[in-house]
Amino acid sequence: MFWPDTISKRLGVQYPIIQAPMFGVSTMEMVAAAARAGCLGSLALADLSADESVELIRATRKLTDKPFAANIFVHYIPEITDALKYKFITTRQFLEQLANDNGIEVNLPDLEDLKVRSYHDLVDVIIQENCKILSFTFGNLDDQSIQKLKENGVTLIGTCTSVNEALILEKSGIDIICVQGTEAGGHRGTFDPDHVPQIGGLSLLSQVYDHVKVPLIYAGGIYNGKTLQAVKDLGAQAFQVGNLLLASQESALEPFEKERLKSVREDEIILTKSFSGRYARGVRNKYIEAVENSEYILPYPYQNKLTNALRKAAKSKQNTDFVGIWVGQSIHQYSEYSTEEILKNLIKEYER
C-alpha cells in the first residue's frame, strides 16, 4: 500500500530503503543493522584488495543472513607521467608543511609506495563469494565485467549524476540506476572527476525518470518522511540514505566528529576536491580552505591515497580541521540511535 515494490522484490528486502555505502563511515555492523530493519545494507569495499574484500564479506555474513549489496569504485586510474611525478613531490611537500605548521607531524608516502588498484579483481571476488547485488560508483563497469557478473546472477546498480550518465548505464545493461542528487553528502558519483553536473536532485530524478526505463533509486537529501514522499512522487522506487546515519551507533565516525556534525551550519557545507582529487560534499575546515583552490591537488586516486596518513594523524589528535567529514545538504539532528532504530523511525514516519 505504502511502498513501491519493484526494487525491494528484486533485492529480496522488505522495504525499498538502502543504507548508503559511505566508505570510511559505514561498517559491517551498520550493514547488519540495516538488514534487521528490513532494508538493504551496503558493504563498502571501495578499492580494497581482493583479500581484504573477501574477509569483509565473510565477516559481514556472520552478522546477517539477509541480502546486502557489495559496493565498489570503478574509477579511471591516470597514467603516471613525469609531470604527475613532479606534482606529487611538490604536493607532498606542501601538505607535510601545512600539517606541521598546524601541529600535526606526519610523513606522507612516496608515489611508489601507494597501492592503487583497478576494480577488476573485485569483480572476481563478487562472483567467488556469491554476492548477488553489486552497486558501484565513479563510472561504469566495462562490458566484459558486466557480462561476467550477469552470467553469475548478480544484480547491478550503477550511479548517475546526469541524464547522460543514466543513459550510458541503461544502454550497457545495468539493472537498476541510483540517481545521486547534488545534495548528497560524500563523493559525487560522476564519471568525469573534473566535471560535476550541478543539477538539483529533484530536477535530475524527474528528468532521468523520463529518459530511462530501468527502476530508479534516489540518493540525496532524504532525511524524513516528507523528503522520501517527494522523491517517490517523482518516480523513485527505492531510497538511499546516508547522511541520516552519520552519527548512528554503528557509524565509524569518532565521537569528536559526531559532535562536529551537531553544530554544522548550511554555509559550511561545500564541494571540495582537496582531500581526494574527486569532488565530495563535506564540512569546510582549515585544510580545505588552504588546499581547495591551490595547485596542490593530484588526480584521484593519488590525492586520496596521499592524504590518507594526514587524515589518520588528525583523527588521532581529534583535530576536525584536517579530517574530511562528509555530509549532505539536509541538516538534521544526527541521531546517535542505532541504524536499525533510525531506519525503522523513518519507515514509521513515512507510513504515517
pTM of the model: 0.97
Work out the mean pLDDT of the chain and round it to a whole number. Answer: 97
**H helix intervals, 41-119:** 50-63, 82-101
Q: Assess if residue 258 is contained within a domain.
A: no
What's the CATH number where 128 sits? 3.20.20.70
Q: Assess if residue 186 is contained within a domain.
A: yes
Q: What is the pLDDT of residue 1?
A: 53
Q: 159-217 pLDDT, tens per residue?
A: 999 999 999 999 999 999 999 999 999 999 999 998 888 899 999 999 999 999 999 99
Does 71 share its domain with 85?
no
Does 294 share its domain with 199?
no
Does 111 share its domain with 160?
no
Orientation of helix 50-63 relative to helix 28-36, angle to 10°? 40
Where does residue 228 rank: exposed (0-12), middle (13-18), buried (19+ CB within 10 A)? buried
Q: Assess if residue 256 is contained within a domain.
A: no
Q: Are 310 and 290 in contact (CB under 8 A)?
A: no
Residue 44 parent element (H or E): strand 41-46
Q: Assess if residue 259 is contained within a domain.
A: no
Does 191 share its domain with 289?
no
Does 301 share its domain with 312?
yes
Q: Assess if residue 151 is contained within a domain.
A: yes
Q: 314-341 pLDDT, tens per residue?
A: 999 999 999 999 999 999 999 999 999 9
Does 150 share its domain with 227?
yes
CA 35 to chain centre: 18
* Mean pLDDT, rounded, for 273-280: 97
Q: Which domain holds residue 277?
A: 79-115+265-326
Residues 6+ apart with CB under 8 A from 31: 19, 41, 42, 43, 60, 63, 64, 68
Q: What is the pLDDT of residue 2?
A: 84
Q: Are 233 and 252 in contact (CB under 8 A)?
A: no
Length of the chain: 352
Q: Which three cell numbers stand for residue 141?
A: 563497469
Does 27 share its domain with 11?
yes
> Into how many domains does the chain fold?
2
Q: Assess if residue 255 is contained within a domain.
A: no
CA 296 to chain centre: 24
Does 214 share its domain with 275?
no
Does 61 share its domain with 137?
yes
Does 91 share its domain with 161?
no
Does 306 share its domain with 158?
no
Residues 6+ apart with CB under 8 A from 146: 156, 172, 173, 174
Q: 218-248 pLDDT, tens per residue?
A: 999 999 999 999 999 999 999 999 999 999 9
Residues 6+ apart with CB under 8 A from 68: 31, 34, 35, 40, 41, 42, 43, 60, 133
Task: Using alpha carbons only, give the angle 223, 73, 228 rounded to the nearest 5 degrees.
Answer: 15
The neighbouring-strand residues paired with 44 are 71
Q: Assess if residue 130 is contained within a domain.
A: yes
Does 45 share its domain with 165?
yes
